[in-house]
Amino acid sequence: MTRARAVVLALAASFSIYLILLTAHGAWLFAEALFQSAGGRSPRWMAANFAVALFLQVLAVGFFYWFFVKPGWRRAIPLMLAFPVVFLVLQRLYLITIPTMFLEEPDVARENSSWPVECTAPGVYQTNLRTASELWVRFSNQPNNYAVLTMPGCRLAPVSLPQPKFTPGADFMIDITSVVSGVRAIVQRYSNKERRQSWWLVPGTQEQSRASMTPLEPPASRSDSDGPPILSTDGQWVAWLEAIRIPVHRCCIRSLFGHSTGREGQGC
């Protein structure tokens, strides 16, 4: 084969590098990825991307020219083995090395490790129940007793809840499922003997330690698999979600002062 013809074929074959797939968090052709999200990248970043592409294409021209000048299986094997090497190098350069150069920079800010303790609340541990101003905690030595922690001063306001009797197992289990500001909460009580759950409201009066819970009556069509009720942020309403038929649900919203409203065309 003449050298001129080999150059033409090698140049045409070198564009095959743009068909290489990039597979981090997806799969894109290299040609597509070169222009993808170009608007959010700096000119230097884009220049680096195109420099990598041009460099790899020049190498490809050389390899293909070497093959087409004197084609044969002895030259075809090294050419085929070069493709996985180019694939790995391209993945490393384009997806790791170049982005690292433009997305990371040395942290020159001074380290400030001083973080003084404002206050401590011994004998309690944190739960996942919280509002913007209150954190519900449990006493370590009395795991069924709750308290509400507020700032400043890590003030603890105990919340009195019914305690199970162990004869020998617990006669019931109790758990808080929804809380709002003002120490108002919804409590789930499960009777082990009757295998029945009920729902109660912690009213959140000023005397939380002596506050009595009031029962919440669920909608008649509700089942135990429908999930717990939710207390509104102002503590005035309670919402029950009922499954009518999958995936249709009905939301029943009841006022704690006697009013109720239903959705999906049914009352509650």
Q: What CA–CA distances, in Å, run from 102 to 28, 52, 190? A: 21, 15, 57
Domain membership flag for residue 210: no
Mean pLDDT score of the chain, rounded to an integer? 80
Q: Is the pLDDT of residue 211 over 60?
A: no
Give the confidence band of 25 by pLDDT, cuts at 50, 70, 90.
Answer: low
User: Looking at 80, 103, 126, which one is the last position of a domain?
Assistant: 103
How far is Cα 261 from Cα 264, in angstroms, rounded to an integer? Answer: 11
Domain membership flag for residue 60: yes
* Partner residues linked to 156 by β-bridges: 149
How far is Cα 76 from Cα 83, in angstroms, rounded to an integer? Answer: 11
Domain membership flag for residue 112: no
Residue-wise pLDDT tens digits, 34-59: 776 555 677 888 888 888 888 888 88
Domain membership flag for residue 250: yes
How far is Cα 9 from Cα 5, in angstroms, rounded to an integer? Answer: 6
* Partner residues linked to 139 by β-bridges: 124
Amino acid, single-letter form, for residue 150? T
Domain membership flag for residue 125: no
Domain membership flag for residue 122: no
**What was the pLDDT predicted at 209?**
42
User: Looking at 40, 68, 103, which one is the last position of a domain?
Assistant: 103
Burial class, 150, CB count within 10 angstroms (exposed 0-12 / middle 13-18 / buried 19+)? middle
Residue-wise pLDDT tens digits, 116-166: 888 999 999 999 999 988 999 999 887 678 899 999 899 998 888 887 777
Cβ-based neighbour number of residue 75 at 10 Å = 15
Residue-wise pLDDT tens digits, 175-194: 888 999 888 899 988 888 78
User: Looking at 70, 103, 136, which one is the last position of a domain?
Assistant: 103
Residue in 123, 197, 205, 198 with CA at minimum distance from that of residue 159? 205
Residue-wise pLDDT tens digits, 212-251: 788 888 887 777 778 888 899 888 899 988 877 777 778 8
pTM for this predicted structure: 0.52
- Start-to-end C-alpha separation, the chain: 87
Count of the separate structural domains present in the chain: 2
Domain membership flag for residue 181: no
**What was the pLDDT predicted at 135?**
93
**What was the pLDDT predicted at 163?**
79
- Phi, then psi, of 245 in degrees rounded to 5: -160, 140
**What was the pLDDT predicted at 257?**
74
**Domain span at 230:** 218-268
Domain membership flag for residue 15: yes
Amino acid, single-letter form, for residue 27? A
